[in-house]
Amino acid sequence: MTPELLSLLRGVVSVTTEEELRKKLFLNRPLRVKLGVDPTTRDLHLGHTVPLRKMRAFQDLGHTGVLIIGDFTAGIGDPSGRDETRPVLSKEEIKDNAETYRDQAYRILDPAKTELRFNREWLEPFVAGGEFLRYLPKVTLARLTEREDFKARMGRGDPITMLEIFYPVFQGYDSVAVKADIEIGGSDQLFNLLFGRDMQRDYGQEPQVTMTFPLLVGTDGVKKMSKTYKNAVALQDEPKEMFGKAMSISDELMLSWAEQLTELDLGVFKKMHPMEAKKLLAQTITAGFYTKERAEAALDDFIRVHSEGELPAHMPEFRLPKDKKLFLSQVIQLSGLAPSRKEAQRKIAEGAVRLSSAVVKEDKVLEVTTPTVLTFGRRGFLKVIPSN
């Protein structure tokens, strides 16, 4: 196996088929590597970057990344891996999210080797022109509902919309429209990717090779990374926050993160002391989105705070208002340290909140006469400024 093929197969959980992939790599032309994304969120996290990193690996070998923004399919909602119907987004939400997704994706992809497409371009005429209805006789309901997520929902008697059932047809036609040689995606996308192979055959095209990756486990070490589960590392996180979140993962999770999010030598990585390995992992991830210098500064800050017990060199500030009193939990929520006042109150009760190094276990009106450091958990720091 060539070094190039080994690199492309790193972290891959399934390839259909490896032999077809070998043949395509010897075609002596740039391959068209497709990744379809529905812009359902503005905030990308490390889990979203796994297929983007693989697309970049193909680009580095001279191939073309075809990034499809699903401005049409986002209005349907991909049911893959979900146990309920996804909320349908408005055109305005889809447009705003698409612009944000593109900008964040280009932090990983090579824009010069990326073909950015919006699937409304071909899916609207596919439906309006009648081609969709003409194709449906080739599709059976049994085939479209054999996927595990649908089986689970039907077993519970939960509703499944016809738009969700037809979603693989629309995603498959994406592959036909852009003449994809390879399609990449998460393991929950396997059904849709394989359906795309069938549609390409039906339209007289060479079927695409499909490559899937395991879903990245979040910082909690249990569930897939998701903003919903509060276990995500966002691409918009500041370097110190990104570094700190990476340092918070369990030792058991480090190897899979190293494989999926970096190009580190896994053989060497396994032999390192766990703490040193985790620092290297966190530094490598952070440097990938910022700079080596900012990643090193995040490491220095982490060592100073967590190993030497010092305060961060810089921290956000919150000035108490003059016109009203705020409870401690309100300050924590309003400053962004906690997503809700209820979560802030829970942390206070646990003894995870300190004012000037003193543990505070009562949620009461916060009053300070001088700038005071509020510590929230292990990584949250805030300088509270008096109102006067």
Q: What's the rounded mean pLDDT across residues 90-103? A: 85
Each residue's pLDDT tens digit, 48-75: 999 999 999 999 999 999 999 998 988 7
Q: What separation in angstroms does the CA of 252 have from each of 203, 270, 319, 327?
A: 46, 11, 41, 39
CA dihedral 223, 228, 231, 236 (to 10 degrees): 140
Q: What's the rounded mean pLDDT across residues 336-342? A: 89
Determine phi and psi for 266, rounding to 5 degrees. Answer: -70, -30
Written as six digits, the tokens of 196 are 């795309």
* pLDDT at position 3: 87
**For the chain, what is the HEC assignment?**
CCHHHHHHHCCCCEEECHHHHHHHHCCCCCCEEEEEECCCCCCCEHHHHHHHHHHHHHHHCCCEEEEEECCCHHHCCCCCCCCCCCCCCCHHHHHHHHHHHHHHHCCCCCHHHEEEEECHHHHHHHHHCCHHHHHHHHCCHHHHCCCHHHHHHHHCCCCCCHHHHHHHHHHHHHHHHHCCCEEEEEHHHHHHHHHHHHHHHHCCCCCCEEEEECCCECCCCCCECCCCCCCCCECCCCHHHHHHHHHCCCHHHHHHHHHHHCCCCHHHHHHCCHHHHHHHHHHHHHHHHCCHHHHHHHHHHHHHHHHCCCCCCCCCEEECCCCCCCEHHHHHHHCCCCCCHHHHHHHHHHCCEEECCEECCCCCECCCCCCEEEEECCCEEEEEECCC
* pLDDT at position 109: 97
* pLDDT at position 304: 80
Which CATH code is given to the segment(s) 3-213?
3.40.50.620
* pLDDT at position 119: 95
Pairing mode of beta strands 353-355, 317-319? unpaired
* pLDDT at position 297: 93
User: Would you say residue 12 has pLDDT above 80?
Assistant: yes
Written as six digits, the tokens of 191 are 């059904």
Q: What separation in angstroms does the CA of 64 have from each of 12, 68, 112, 199?
A: 19, 12, 9, 22
Each residue's pLDDT tens digit, 263-275: 999 999 999 999 9
Better pLDDT: 388 or 285: 285
Each residue's pLDDT tens digit, 217-261: 999 999 999 988 889 999 999 999 999 999 989 999 999 999 999
- Show me where the domains of the chain are located: 3-213, 239-307, 317-385
* pLDDT at position 307: 63
Separation CA 88–CA 93 (nearest Å): 10
Separation CA 186–CA 286 (nearest Å): 23
CATH number among 1.10.10.10, 3.40.50.300, 3.40.50.670, 3.10.290.10, domain 317-385:
3.10.290.10
